[in-house]
Each structure stands twice: as C-alpha cells, then as structure tokens.
Amino acid sequence: MLGEFWVQRLILFFIFLSLAVVLGFGGNYYNKKIEAKGKESYIAYKKTLQQEELEKKKETQAKLERLNPKTNKNQSVVDFLHFNALMKERVAISVIGSSVAKGDGASSVSKAWPSLVESKIRGANEDLGKIAIKNHGESGWTTQDIVDRDIVSAVVKDYPALVLIETSLLHNHGKSFSMDVTKANLNEIASSLKEALPNARLVFFSASPSPEKLKEANARGYRYEDYIRNTEELIKQNGWEYFDMNEGIQKYLDDTGGKFKDMLNGDGVLMNDEGQRIWAEVLFGYMSLAK
C-alpha cells in the first residue's frame, strides 16, 4: 500500500511538472508572439506616420509652387499671405495711419475693422491661423506725424509680410497741408518701407468719410477728394498698390441698399460698429481678389 501511495504521488508530480513545462513554454511562445505583433504594429504605425509626413511635404511643396509670388505677379493679397504662412513660423501684418487705421469709432477692439479682417484672413484657410495684425495707427495723425515719429522703424520690428497704409489724408485735409508736403511724406514712407522690407507687400488705401465731408474745403481751398485724387496720381506714377476704399464702400452700399449715414458716428468721419463691419468686408474682398 505504501508503495502504491508513493507511485501515485510520483505520477502526480510528473503530471504537474509536465503541465508547468507546457505552460511555461506556451506562455513564453505566446509572449513572444504578442511581442512580435506589437513590433509589427509599431513598425506599421511608424510607416503610416512617415507616409503621412511625406504626403504633407508634397502637398506643402505643391502649394508653395502654386502660390510663389515670383511666378504669380497678379496674385491676391490673401494668396500672398498664404505663401508666407507656409514659409514662416509667424506672419505679421502691420497697419499704419490715423484714427481710421486704429479703428476709432468701434465700441470695442474686437469690433474694429483690423480685428475683423484678421479673423477673416485666419478663417480663409487653415494655414493662415498664424496671421496677426500689428496696429500702429494713432488718432489725429497726419502723414507728417508718421514721418516725424519714425513709425517705419516700429513697423520694421514687426518684420511684416504685408503693410497696410492708410494715407491719413483726413487729417492732412483738416490741417490744410499742401499737396507737395503730402506727396513728399508718402514718398518717404513708401521708399523707407521698401528699402527696409524689400520682400513685404505694401497696400495703400484711403479713409472713407461721408459724401458731405468729401466736398468740404479747407483753408487752402482743397477738398478731401482733391487729396485723394492727387495721391492716387502719385501712387499710380510709382506703381504702388492702392485700393480706393471710397469707391469700394460706395459699391458695397449700392449692391446692398445700405446708406452711408448708418455707417458713421455723429462726426461723419469715424465708423461705428456697422461701418467697421462693412469696412472689413470691403477690404477683405479686395484682399481676396487677384490684381
């Protein structure tokens, strides 16, 4: 009986030993199999990432070729900014001018035309999310103020891709500046910017007061529209880019049935929130069109 007992114990021991060996080898086998599968999945994942990165680079290169300003002389301002956004970590737009450039008249900064235009540009394409407007406009400034305060140096520090230049003619008109001084100032501003920022795009535009303000004569007998026409001639002679905001807004109002008086505050010059919205619509419309 005792012998049978030990035989049974020995048989059970070998059974358990066999199970342990089988389980050990089996577990090791499956662990290796799982590990191999994990490596395969990781390699496949890396290949997918590399492929996606390659496709992204090809897509970016295709965009750069399509948007290159050197081969697209008539491209829109938005496309020009898009090209710069693909090339740079950040893209700045600098604004120069007077109270109109600053966005005076709006109930808040977020409702002023610079903020609205910035939002429109960012929303035009996912690549344009890094665009930021730097505003150097100041209330009451004339073209002479822009020159005397060396605003160009402040703009250069922005390293902008685009400079929007509101011509400050309202205050030149109000302070009865001569046409010669006005033109000389604009010449100096443009030449200084072009010298310091040879790759930046410059766009000049005028303020847009009420039709009544356009006709008012100053101490020299000049009307505001006289300043506009004289500076337009200067701009065309030099081949600078220019947008006639007065004409653009009038067309917008004609198309929509709007009225100028609903755009302006009581002074007939500064735009209220609705005027800021329309200004942004019209300016962005120009920026979206090829020349």
Domain co-membership, 173 together with 60 = no
Residue type, 204: F
pLDDT bin (cut points 50, 70, 90) of residue 85 is: very high
Structure tokens at 126: 């996912």
Asked whether residue 121 falls in the same domain as residue 41, the answer is: no
Pairing of strands 162-166, 201-205: parallel
* Residue 203 falls inside a structural domain: yes
Which domain-ending residue is among 67, 93, 116? 67
Distance CA 88, CA 69 (A): 15
Same domain assignment for residues 261 and 192: yes
Give the model's confidence band at 24: pLDDT under 50 very low, under 70 low, under 90 confident, else very high. Answer: low
Q: Are 109 and 115 in contact (CB under 8 A)?
A: yes
pTM, two decimal places: 0.80
Q: Do 193 and 60 belong together in one domain?
A: no
Domain match, 61 and 86 both:
no
Whether 64 shows a pLDDT value over 70: the answer reads no
Residue 11 falls inside a structural domain? no
Is 152 a domain residue? yes
- 169 and 238 co-located in one domain: yes
Domain count of the chain? Answer: 2
Residue 59 has a pLDDT of 67
Asked, for residue 23, whether it belongs to a domain, the answer is no
Check whether residue 129 and residue 197 sit in a common domain.
yes
Choice between 212 and 276, residue whose per-residue pLDDT is larger: 276
Q: pLDDT band for 23, please (50, 70, 90 cuts).
A: low
Considering the domain architecture, whether residues 88 and 185 belong to the same structural domain is answered as yes
The domain in which residue 199 lies consists of: 75-288
Q: Tell me, yes or no, whether 102 and 134 share the same domain.
A: yes
Predicted local distance difference test score (pLDDT) of residue 9: 63
266: its two tokens: 């009581």
pLDDT higher than threshold 60 for residue 82:
yes
Burial 204-240 (b: 16+ CB within 10 A, else e): bbbbbbeeebbeeebeeebebbbbbebbeebbeeeeb
Name the more confident of 200 and 68.
200
SS3 102: helix
Kindly tell me if the per-residue pLDDT of 33 is higher than 80: no
227 in a structural domain: yes
CATH of the domain at 166: 3.40.50.1110
pLDDT at 19: 57
In tens, the pLDDT along 118-161 reads: 999 999 999 999 999 999 999 999 999 999 999 999 999 999 99
Final residue of a structural domain among 51, 67, 83? 67
Residues 43 and 81 reside in one and the same domain: no
- Residue 270 pLDDT: 84
99 burial level (CB within 10 Å; 0-12, 13-18, 19+): buried
Mean of the per-residue pLDDT values of the chain: 86
Domain's final residue, options 13, 47, 67: 67
Report if residue 17 sits inside a domain: no
Mark whether 108 and 51 lie in a shared domain: no
pLDDT in tens, 219-262: 999 998 899 999 999 999 999 999 988 889 999 999 999 988 89
Please report which confidence band the pLDDT of residue 54 belongs to, taking 50, 70 and 90 as the band edges.
Answer: low
Query: Does some domain include residue 51?
Result: yes
**In a shared domain, residues 39 and 164:** no
- Rounded to a whole number, what is the distance in angstroms from the first to the last CA of the chain? 110
